[in-house]
Amino acid sequence: MIFGGSGDLAMRKLMPALYNLALQRLLPAAFCVVGTARRPLSDAAYREELRLAVSQHSRTKPLNEEVWRSFAENLHFVATSDDRGYGKLRETLDRLDHELGTHANRLFYLATPPPAYASIVRAIGEHRLRGDTGWARVVIEKPFGHDRESARELTEILHTVFREDEVFRIDHYLGKETVQNILVMRFANGIFEPIWNRQYVDHVQITVAETIGVEERAGYYEQAGAMRDVVQNHLLQLLALVAMEPPAAFDDKAVRDEKVKVLRVLRPITGDDVRMNAVRGQYGRGFIEGVAVNAYREEPGVARDSRTETYVALKCWVDNWRWEGTPFYMRTGKRLPKRSTEIAIQFRAAPHQLFSREASEGLEPNALVLRIQPNEGISLKFGAKVPVQGIRIRSVNMDFDYGASFMVEAPDAYETLILDALRGDATLFTRRDEVDQQWAFVDPIMEAWGASPTDPPIYEAGTWGPIEAHVLIERDGREWRKA
Amino acid sequence: MAQSIAIDTTFWGARVLGVAAVERELTRLRRAVIAHALEQRLVAARASVLNLIVYAEREVHARRAAKSISELALRHPSRAIVVLADRGAREDVEARIEMHCHLPAADNATQVSYEQILVRARGDSRQRVASAVIPLLVPDLPVFLWWTGAPPVGGPPFGDLLGVADRLIVDSSDFARPDLALPSIARICSQARGLFGLTDLNWTRLTPWREMVTSFFDVPAWRPFLETTTGVRVGFAVDMDGRDIHPSQALLFIGWLASRLGWRRVDELAPSEAGGLLFAIARADGARVMVRVRPRFERGLEEGDVSGIRVQAERDGQRAEFVVKRQPDERHQTSTVLIDGRTRWERTVPLPSPAIVELIGEELAILGSDRTYEEALAALVRLS
């Protein structure tokens, strides 16, 4: 069941993901998709729209007509603009259950704008769409509320119809191969975990950089900003995965328990600390990949005096035994020079400098970099002797390139996550208490910024954020990596 | 009116639309190489130890640079981003950036060691260049910026690209007006102390000369003459008509001596003779050193290359001359010591090839700044 079945998300992500799952023979034998939206649409017209969307957005091309035909036979559409529509929806679901023998196992995917969540959940309850037998799960997209309070309200609404273990909050970052690989790298290998702590790690940098501007999302983005759009979910998730303790098992409870523990000890940035440890910025005019681009305030749908932040840099502390004294620097922004998501673990320098200053001029501290996108991979930076007479040291990279090592294209995050949701594996989804802790961290900063009389500093599009962000890290004698 | 240079796609590779497309295309090409290697049961890897940005305003320069870098690929596996920009601001051409990329086939199929990207900046694209180049850099690798021609004093794209560079490479032999360009390089150098290193290929060409001159004074008996130098003569090559005068290399040599030996300012400046220079410098002890920099036509030499050096000194009534000369075969160097006009010692050693490939190869091995060069340059600027 996809609510918002003819919307952008369904067209660009969900349907191509489902189609690719079908292509890989990963969908169950008896399976169908019912899309719903306000505007009326026949099954045939719906299928045709989806066909176009999938052939355009699928990661595998061209469309396999045979597979599509059989997949499309199980696509249905019901318009739900009123109670009658929901009644019809229920009839359709019951009929399909009967035909396919699916025992009313139902996955509800809320692919609508967040304001519609409440009424949809209510309707699912009132019209008893959950069915009497079988399982029911609901997948919802971020944002999960706009602050701690509203996130709690949303959870309460969801809980009127679904139990917490039936709620799958999706953060598509967690579906990425390389993000899951953080856990594999840390906990399937013996050599990293012993040095994964304050004793060896000088600091950690997490970067989520985009080159795109606000595009068509101004309506949402004006309210959200970079903090709610990226920090609250993606950045804090990455932080949790890097900083967490080894879970006892790779299951949804153990993994998420450990993540929550990290979020709980993430030192809040409040009051005066905000000025010191949190930097916001908003992009001005500039150039991206050689093309002149507008300032944020010139974008369609954005207020001319908007104070929404499009850039955030933070210095955080994880107050526990493992990380005492090791700062985590995080940054995210739009209209930065390059699209890049990565986590860099920067290790301490060798304790004793054996080589002359001149010889080691090209030497940088060891760093382990987990590249999430693009060019997924891992690289380890270390010093090596340059092949000349005498000693001259330079940093070199030992590189692991995902694509070149496995020679297969990684599945799209949505494929992974939808399949997990169908299987009922919630490991890669965000639990209520995680969301709650994420907001507990974000809210005080947003409050301080909201109360501040000044505008966010402007940075030129195509640069790495405002000068304040550089000050934030250079004050500590460190610098942002050249991502 | 607006005549754009057509891009030779056999050399520069196919045109691709945007940074993401460049990466996709290079990944595709890389995988093809790797797949090919796997078929032959070899293990292929991508190797890359540096980013090299080349900035050129003439296709011939861009092409020459690209060729040099590809020849160096096994020694210095790299990603080269060659920027070919229109000279000056041309208003008749719409400002825009185009990209081409290419993975030149290596002899060694087991390694992908050279990735070449052409960033073609048309019209007045000064503001745009850096925004197209920076996202193409391979993260975590040092960035070398090779600027062909004399670098401008500041402003985009020079300033922007320098901002991401660990090392700036120039070739002062290309400078049309070294008297203006060398001081401005010295300024760039002193302003950015520590942020990036500076290399002058012309300085690298001078290295065998400096080595030979230095080696004279390793000998204890001759060492004291260094303090009592009375004259230095440096010859540099010009073309047959004596029109193209490029004394940068010879001047850098003087600057180097001055910085090492604490020579101060010019006492008097004699009128230049036939494109050369004649002047006096004050030694550390105040005595005068006569310096003569003279253009000479010599077959087979690149204009501006040093052809011979003679250091004269007097001490305890003895007159010494230390001479380094290039042999007519161009592949050897001879150094001679004359005491009171009598040859005391002579030796001939191979002269390393000054090919640009070799020069660049040397430079890419160094990351830090070259203090000796910077000091020589500073001394030279002080002298003039």
Residue A102 has pLDDT above 70, yes or no: yes
Q: Which residues pair with B279 in a beta bridge?
A: B269, B291
Contact between A297 and A303 under an 8 Å Cβ cutoff? The reply is yes
pLDDT attached to residue B181: 83
Q: Do A388 and B365 touch (CB under 8 A)?
A: yes
Enclosing H/E stretch for A123: helix A117-126
DSSP output for B232-269: EEEEEEE-TTS----THHHHHHHHHHHHHHT---EEEE
Helix, strand or coil for residue A281? strand
Contacts of B2 (CB under 8 A, 6+ apart): B90, B92, B93
Architecture label for domain B204-356: 2-Layer Sandwich (3.30)
What the block records as the tokens of B117 is 């990207």
DSSP 8-class letter at A266: B
Partner residue opposite A399 with nearest CB, options B23, B46, B97: B46
Query: How many residues comprise chain B?
Result: 384
Contacts of residue A337 in chain B, CB cutoff 8 Å?
Answer: 131, 134-135
pLDDT attached to residue B84: 92
Residues of chain B where predicted confidence (pLDDT) is lower than 70? 1-5, 43-45, 88-91, 105-112, 193-194, 242, 267-275, 354, 367-368
* The Cα angle at residue A48 between residues A46 and A52, in degrees rounded to 5: 120
Q: Give the type of residue at B143.
A: V
DSSP 8-class letter at B54: E
Average pLDDT over residues A39-45: 92
Q: Do B367 and A394 touch (CB under 8 A)?
A: yes
Which residue matches tokens 């990207």? B117
What the block records as the tokens of B109 is 């199929």
pLDDT attached to residue A42: 93
CATH superfamily, with its number, for domain A2-141: NAD(P)-binding Rossmann-like Domain (3.40.50.720)
Average pLDDT over residues A251-277: 94
Q: Which residues on chain B place their C-beta less than 8 Å from a C-beta of chain A?
A: 18-20, 23, 27, 30-31, 34-35, 45-46, 48-49, 96-97, 119, 121, 125, 127-132, 134-135, 137, 139-143, 164, 365-369
Q: How far apart are the first and last CA of chain B?
A: 43
Instruction: Find how far residue B137's CA is from the centre of its chain.
Output: 22
Average pLDDT over residues A379-404: 78
Sign of CA dihedral A440, A442, A444, A446: negative
Which residue matches tokens 């505008």? A455
What the block records as the tokens of B337 is 């010591």
Number of helices and strands (H, E) in chain A?
A: 16, 16
Alpha helices in chain B (DSSP H): 9-12, 19-39, 59-71, 126-133, 158-164, 178-191, 201-216, 248-261, 356-364, 371-383
pLDDT attached to residue A318: 97
Which residue matches tokens 């600091």? A203
pLDDT attached to residue A410: 75
Helix, strand or coil for residue B94? coil
Helix, strand or coil for residue B308? strand
Pairing relationship of beta strands A367-373 and A377-385 according to DSSP bridges: antiparallel
Q: Do A362 and B130 touch (CB under 8 A)?
A: no
Enclosing H/E stretch for A330: strand A327-333
What the block records as the tokens of B223 is 């060492």
Instruction: Find how far residue B64's CA is from the centre of its chain.
Output: 14
Q: Is A98 a catalytic residue?
A: no
Domain A2-141 and domain A174-409+430-474, same fold? Reply is: no
Rounded CA gap, A470 and A465, in Å?
8
Q: Is the ipTM of this complex over 0.85?
A: no
Domain chopping of chain A, boundaries: 2-141, 174-409+430-474
Pairing relationship of beta strands A167-170 and A327-333 according to DSSP bridges: unpaired
Contacts of residue A211 in chain B, CB cutoff 8 Å?
Answer: 19, 135
Contacts of B361 (CB under 8 A, 6+ apart): B72, B75, B76
In 3D, which of A370, A372, A392 has the Cα closest to residue A381? A370
Q: Which residues pair with A367 in a beta bridge?
A: A346, A381
Q: A59 to chain B nearest CA, in Å?
A: 13
* The Cα angle at residue A204 between residues A202 and A210, in degrees rounded to 5: 150
Query: Dihedrals φ, ψ of B204, to 5°?
Result: -65, -35
Catalytic annotation, pick one of A57, A203, A234, A352 = A234
CATH fold of A174-409+430-474 reads Dihydrodipicolinate Reductase; domain 2 (3.30.360)
In 3D, which of A75, A20, A23 has the Cα closest to residue A47? A75
pLDDT attached to residue A113: 87
In 3D, which of A21, A181, A217 has the Cα closest to residue A107? A21
Q: How many other C-beta atoms are found inside a 10 Å radius of the C-beta of residue A346?
A: 21
pLDDT attached to residue B248: 87
Interface A–B counts its CB contacts (< 8 A) at 98
Contact between B281 and B258 under an 8 Å Cβ cutoff? The reply is yes
Q: Which residue has the higher pLDDT, A443 or A176?
A: A443
Contact between A359 and A393 under an 8 Å Cβ cutoff? The reply is yes
Q: Please, what's the b/e burial string for B22-55 (b: 16 or more CB within 10 A of its CB; e: otherwise)?
A: bbebbbebbbebbeebeeeeeebbbbbbbbbbbb
Residue A196 has pLDDT above 90, yes or no: yes
pLDDT attached to residue B2: 39
Q: Which residues pair with B233 in a beta bridge?
A: B292, B310
Chain A residue nearest residue B119, CA to CA: A290
pLDDT attached to residue A459: 96
Start and end residues for every CATH 3.30.360 domain found in chain B: 204-356
Query: Dihedrals φ, ψ of B65, to 5°?
Result: -60, -45
Contact between B333 and B351 under an 8 Å Cβ cutoff? The reply is yes
Q: How many other C-beta atoms are found inside a 10 Å radius of the C-beta of residue B17?
A: 11
In 3D, which of B254, B338, B333 has the Cα closest to residue B294? B254
Contact between B315 and B225 under an 8 Å Cβ cutoff? The reply is yes
Enclosing H/E stretch for A87: helix A83-100
Q: B181 to chain A nearest CA, in Å?
A: 27
Rounded CA gap, A94 and A103, in Å?
9
pLDDT attached to residue B106: 57
Rounded CA gap, B82 and B304, in Å?
26
In 3D, which of B235, B255, B260 has the Cα closest to residue B247? B235
pLDDT attached to residue B3: 44
Q: How many other C-beta atoms are found inside a 10 Å radius of the C-beta of residue B338?
A: 17
Q: Do A395 and B365 touch (CB under 8 A)?
A: no
Partner residue opposite A361 with nearest CB, options B19, B34, B368: B368
Helix, strand or coil for residue A233? helix
Q: Do B367 and A361 touch (CB under 8 A)?
A: yes
Query: How many residues comprise chain A?
Result: 483
Average pLDDT over residues A343-372: 86
Q: Do A290 and B96 touch (CB under 8 A)?
A: yes
* The Cα angle at residue A73 between residues A44 and A46, in degrees rounded to 5: 30
What the block records as the tokens of B61 is 């320069």
Q: Is B341 exposed, middle or buried (0-12, 13-18, 19+ CB in 10 A)?
A: exposed
Q: How far apart are the first and last CA of chain A?
A: 40
Q: Please, what's the b/e burial string for A57-86 (b: 16 or more CB within 10 A of its CB; e: otherwise)?
A: bbeeeebeeebbeebbebbbbbbbeeeebb
Q: Lowest mean pLDDT: which of A307-316, A329-338, B287-296?
A: B287-296
